[in-house]
Structure 1
């Protein structure tokens, strides 16, 4: 079986207003309502997922790409002032 460990591991990042946290399945419960607006999916595709389905998705993403030549990096975005998750950021390389 090929090694699936990514060449890049997402680390927490901080800006003046935001914290980017490596995406974890535990973020699903808080992010499901944030990502539930069907209008959002007009732009990103798919349809809103409930928290259990989102948790499964985030667990797959956290495990990394099945292709060892591809790196998946995913973060949850927290608006520091509100102390709330407001979305996600994804990079594929």
Structure 2
């Protein structure tokens, strides 16, 4: 698997990158947005993916932690997470 894989599985968002797998309950997601900074605005965020100057950053804020996804396919990731949030 190359890059980031983001899918909705049951009531969770499952993020896979290389040997990392993170499961975020949809009910815990507060907001999803693009982050236009290089390393991400949140200093304590969990960073997933490879940060390059040309990658986009998707910021996911949950009830107890923040995530920054480095991706070249932000549209698909945002659509997957947004549709999961709307369906809850």
Structure 1 or 2: more strand by fraction: 2
TM-score greater than 0.5 by the shorter chain: no
The structure having more radius of gyration, on CA atoms, is: 1
Structure 1 or 2: more helix by fraction: 1
TM-score by length of 1: 0.28
TM-score by length of 2: 0.28
Which structure has more relative contact order (CA 8 Å, sep 6+)? It is 1
